Structure 1
Amino acid sequence: MTRHLDAEHIGALAGLMGWAEHRGRPAQERADLVAAAWGSGIRNVAELSRIARVSRDTIYADLRARGIDPSQRAEPVSPQQTGGTAAGAVSPDALRVLAKLLGAVAGPEAVAGASDGDMVRVVDSTATLLDLVADLLDPPLDQGPGWTGDDLLPQLVLHGGEVAGHARRTMAARATADDVTRLATWVRTGARYSGRALVVDRADVALRMPDGSTTTVTVTVDDAGATTLTGGGPALSGATTELDQLDLFQALTTLADVVGRHLDPSAHVARRRDDVPGVPPVRQRLLPSNDDRA
């Protein structure tokens, strides 16, 4: 029988690997994670032993302590037997393991040698983001100052924006101007169809220049989804690129979302029930059967 990795299985693996990274965790926690991994479909004691970095006898003992008979591989595992530990539940240690895995395939060396560096940077910055979330859930306060929630939350916001920025750079490098305007069009149309979201057609922005003077630029989005940037005087020059278009569109979308939070419900209109034109088709990921006879 071929076993294919799914979210529950990967979560169970990450949780147990995370425990192995911090051997000071209670043995009871390990037993819960072993039971959860067994319940996710990892029914091989030798494999669990390697993942947890403990002996096979310890794995057998953990399973039996949770009322699981290792010889009965087809028997289901109840939530009570895992001590309430759901395979795939958010665990700081599991997140750190996942971050290490991502970093291993998208570290600085991978970026330097990749033909599509921005795509690799999406993965690398996601790894940093996972590490930050893990530190927020379980701050390493023994490492000295700078690890409290007040210290880490601003970093979470900044790195979250970094992931999105690399994603836009990836699209800009691969997409045409028509692709960018198509994206803007269906997002804006979807907002209008909702009956309660706002869209920005134009924004005048006052900017403070490096020398302390001020200038004003105007950002407009036409019905075709094209974003233009005008004004600024002779200090600003150059035509907008696909990346500029995506970044400006994201900024305007964020502005509309913020203002929309304060929109009085009396300004809402009925939601349209017809399909938004131009929306990409719903994606479906087809997974092969676990049954080799299929």
Structure 2
Amino acid sequence: MTSPDFDPETARLTALTTLRAWARQRDRMPEQRARLLATAWRAGEHNIRELARIADVSRQTVYEDLQSQGVDPKTDRGTAASRPRYAPLDHGQVSDLAEQMAAVLGPAMLTAEPEPLAEAAWFAHKAITFIAGLLDPDQPADEEQRRSRAAGFDEIACSADHMRRAAYQQWAAEFGPSELARYTEDTAINAAEIREALPTSTATITVELPDGVGSVVVTLATAAGTKSADPEGWTTWTSNATLPLSPITGEAHLEIQSLLAGLSTVITRQLHPDLLDLDVR
């Protein structure tokens, strides 16, 4: 969504769609307010005056909203706080949320180079949009719908990948290599201590070159000790290619460590429990 791609008709339709979502949201506000007031009551806030002040409504409205949710302020005042009640995701509300997010976030994307945090927020909106689509109860139950659902799940995962990369881009711009290496190393140690993801010493990846002309074997490792010119915990890589690899940037370090941690998490979950039990060694 960049300025060279601007289409006035698309912008007009998007604005109208967002306005429609606002109107639907407005109509649902009394019901949502009643649910929120009931949630606050069940969480232990039984002061009607305070509830009215926070919600910016009259005390009579608070009484009526609570009663609509099955709460009688006169007899339920001594009730102990309870856990919030489960409520499944609602397709309409999630769709409205996605459209409202588009209205708020869209202007920040009207540039050839959006800020990384704007990109992260925009792809969060895209993920919510696809989640709303998967919640649609009116989708036909046929093979085409199954393919559409598969694509929706894939798009959510891809949106999460874009969010991660955007966050790493901004993170690496604000922090130096030593800080990044220390953070990822501490995270890896903590994950290993709770047996969530065992540490990886090295990883080898074979990348097939285009047109079947060969392959490049890349070995990933982590700098350790004072012998390395890189900060301790920094990602290093070597390859068998005739041309050298580019230096590891902060963004690449964060991305590689994240991917290795994810792979280690999958593997660790599949290991036999005895391998994770220190008492059997």
Is TM > 0.5 for Structure 1 vs Structure 2? yes
Which residue of the partner structure matches residue 100 of structure 2? 101
Question: Are 1:20 and 2:21 counterparts?
Answer: no
The alpha-carbon distance between structure 1 residues 242 and 31, as it changes in their structure 2 partners (threshold 3 A), is closer
The alpha-carbon distance between structure 1 residues 43 and 136, as it changes in their structure 2 partners (threshold 3 A), is farther
Question: Are 1:188 and 2:192 counterparts?
Answer: no
Distance 1:105 1:185 in 2: 36
1:241-267 deviation line (CA, Å, top 9, x unaligned) = 111111111121122112112211111
Q: Which amino acid letter does the alignment assign opposite residue 111 of structure 1?
A: M
Which residue of the partner structure matches residue 133 of structure 1? 131
Task: Check whether the contact 2:191–2:198 (CA below 8 A) recurs between aligned residues.
Answer: yes
Distance 1:65 1:123 in 2: 36
Question: Are 1:158 and 2:166 counterparts?
Answer: no
- Displacement of 1:137 in angstroms is 2.0
Distance 2:205 2:150 in 1: 31
Which residue of the partner structure matches residue 149 of structure 2? 149
- Displacement of 1:146 in angstroms is 5.5
Q: Which amino acid letter does the alignment assign opposite residue 167 of structure 2?
A: A
The alpha-carbon distance between structure 1 residues 241 and 139, as it changes in their structure 2 partners (threshold 3 A), is farther
Q: How does 1:1-294 map to 2 (within 5 A)?
A: 20=24, 33=32, 35-40=34-39, 86=85, 90-107=89-106, 109-112=107-110, 117-138=115-136, 141=139, 148-195=148-195, 197-212=197-212, 213-223=214-224, 224-270=232-278
Distance 1:64 1:248 in 2: 54
Q: Which amino acid letter does the alignment assign opposite residue 121 of structure 1?
A: E
User: Which structure features the higher share of helix residues?
Assistant: 2
Distance 1:195 1:151 in 2: 33
Task: Check whether the contact 2:38–2:66 (CA below 8 A) recurs between aligned residues.
Answer: no
Distance 1:161 1:141 in 2: 27
- Displacement of 1:175 in angstroms is 1.6
The alpha-carbon distance between structure 1 residues 139 and 201, as it changes in their structure 2 partners (threshold 3 A), is farther
Which residue of the partner structure matches residue 291 of structure 1? none
Q: Secondary structure at the match of 1:240?
A: coil
Distance 1:87 1:235 in 2: 57
The normalised TM-score by structure 2 is 0.65
Aligned length: 233
Q: Which amino acid letter does the alignment assign opposite residue 137 of structure 1?
A: L
1:151-177 deviation line (CA, Å, top 9, x unaligned) = 322222222222222211221222211
Q: Which amino acid letter does the alignment assign opposite residue 124 of structure 1?
A: W
- Displacement of 1:95 in angstroms is 2.3
The alpha-carbon distance between structure 1 residues 262 and 38, as it changes in their structure 2 partners (threshold 3 A), is closer
Q: Which amino acid letter does the alignment assign opposite residue 273 of structure 2?
A: P
Distance 1:160 1:264 in 2: 30
1:106-154 deviation line (CA, Å, top 9, x unaligned) = 22x3134699700111111111111112222225527x95584333222
The alpha-carbon distance between structure 1 residues 21 and 192, as it changes in their structure 2 partners (threshold 3 A), is closer
- Displacement of 1:68 in angstroms is 6.9
The alpha-carbon distance between structure 1 residues 207 and 39, as it changes in their structure 2 partners (threshold 3 A), is same
Task: Check whether the contact 2:239–2:245 (CA below 8 A) recurs between aligned residues.
Answer: no
Q: Secondary structure at the match of 2:216?
A: strand
Distance 1:160 1:115 in 2: 19
Q: Secondary structure at the match of 2:242?
A: helix
Task: Check whether the contact 1:218–1:231 (CA below 8 A) recurs between aligned residues.
Answer: yes
1:71-96 deviation line (CA, Å, top 9, x unaligned) = x89x87x9xxxxxx959763333322
- Give me the CA root mean square deviation: 4.4
Q: Secondary structure at the match of 1:234?
A: coil
Distance 1:18 1:149 in 2: 27
- Displacement of 1:104 in angstroms is 2.4
Task: Check whether the contact 2:235–2:253 (CA below 8 A) recurs between aligned residues.
Answer: yes
Task: Check whether the contact 2:196–2:269 (CA below 8 A) recurs between aligned residues.
Answer: no
- Which moves more between the two structures, 187-196 or 172-181? 187-196
Distance 2:194 2:67 in 1: 54
Distance 2:66 2:270 in 1: 54
